[in-house]
A and B are shown apart, each in its own frame.
Chain A
Amino acid sequence: EPEVTQTPSHQVTQMGQEVILRCVPISNHLYFYWYRQILGQKVEFLVSFYNNEISEKSEIFDDQFSVERPDGSNFTLKIRSTKLEDSAMYFCASMSEVGTDTQYFGPGTRLTVL
C-alpha cells in the first residue's frame, strides 16, 4: 500500500541553525501539508501546498518557514533559524484531491532544538 515517507526520523540541531525536513508524498497525490505536534499538545496545521504554491498557511507558519517541491517527488519544510520552541514532531500529509478524501500522514520527524 502506498505511504507517505519522511526523513530523517529524528533531527537534532542547535538554536539558530537551518533545518530541512523531507517528505515523499504518495505519488499520485496533488495536495500536500505540514503539521506539527509539540510534545503533549494537539496536532497543529502549518501549511498546505497545491500546484507548486502555498494555498493556506497558519499563524505559526511565519517568515522563518518555507516549503518547496523541488523535483516533483519530494516536499520539504525549511526552518531558516531554529528556535527552542520549534522542537516538535513534524508531520507531512498528502491527499489525492479536495473533497471528501482523506489526508495520509507520514510517520513524522522529531525535531529537537538545543
Chain B
Amino acid sequence: AQSVTQLGSHVSVSEGALVLLRCNYSSSVPPYLFWYVQYPNQGLQLLLKYTTGATLVKGINGFEAEFKKSETSFHLTKPSAHMSDAAEYFCAVIPSGGSYIPTFGRGTSLIVHP
C-alpha cells in the first residue's frame, strides 16, 4: 500500500531563511508526486507536481521540489521564507498506472518568524 511520510508536524524558520519540508513515500514504482498548500480557512492549492521528465520541479510562490528516486523523496524547498508562506503543507502521491486517488501525508505546519 502507498504511504507518505512528512517528517516534522511543525517547521519553524525565520523570515528570509531557507525552507525545507521533507516528504518520503513508499511505492514499488515511481509515483506522481504533489505538494499542496493550505492557508488558514482555505482549501488545498496545488504548489507543484512531478509526473515525468525533469526531476527538479518549480512551482508557484518560489517553491521547488526535487524527486529523488534512490531516496524515495520529494522534499519541498524555498530559498527565502516570507511571512505569507506560513501555512500547512501536504505532500501527496498517486501511483502511476493505477488509481488516480492521492494519498496524503499528515501535513507540515510552516511557521515563519519575523
- A108–B100 contact, CB under 8 A? no
- A43–B43 contact, CB under 8 A? no
Interface residues on A, range: 20 to 34
Given A42-B104, A42-B107, A100-B52, the answer on whether A56 and B43 have CB atoms closer than 8 Å is no
Q: Is A7 at the interface (CB under 8 A from chain B)?
A: no
Interface residues of A in 73-114 (CB under 8 A from B): 91, 93, 95, 98-100, 102-108
Given A48-B101, A56-B99, the answer on whether A102 and B44 have CB atoms closer than 8 Å is no
Instruction: State how many angstroms separate the Cβ of B80 from the closest Cβ of chain A.
Output: 26
Q: Is B95 at the interface (CB under 8 A from chain A)?
A: no
- B106–A41 contact, CB under 8 A? yes
Interface residues on B, range: 20 to 34
Q: Is A65 at the interface (CB under 8 A from chain B)?
A: no
- B44–A91 contact, CB under 8 A? yes
Q: Is B74 at the interface (CB under 8 A from chain A)?
A: no
Closest to A4 in B: B43
Instruction: State how many angstroms separate the Cβ of A101 from the closest Cβ of chain B.
Output: 9
Q: Tally of A-B residue pairs with Cβ under 8 A?
A: 47
Q: Is B63 at the interface (CB under 8 A from chain A)?
A: no
In the complex the two chains form, what is the Cα distance from A48 to B100 in whole Å? 10
In the complex the two chains form, what is the Cα distance from A103 to B32 in whole Å? 12
Closest to A108 in B: B43
Q: Which of B44, B49, B52, B99 has the most CB of A within 10 A?
A: B44
Instruction: State how many angstroms separate the Cβ of A11 from the closest Cβ of chain B.
Output: 15
Given A102-B34, A102-B49, the answer on whether A45 and B101 have CB atoms closer than 8 Å is yes
Q: Which of B43, B101, B103, B105 has the most CB of A within 10 A?
A: B43
Give the B-binding residues of A (Cβ under 8 A): 4, 6, 31, 33, 41-45, 48, 56, 91, 93, 95, 98-100, 102-108
Q: Give 12 pairs: A residue, B residue, CB < 8 Å, sorted on A.
A: A42-B90, A42-B104, A43-B44, A43-B90, A43-B92, A93-B44, A95-B100, A98-B100, A99-B100, A100-B52, A102-B46, A108-B42
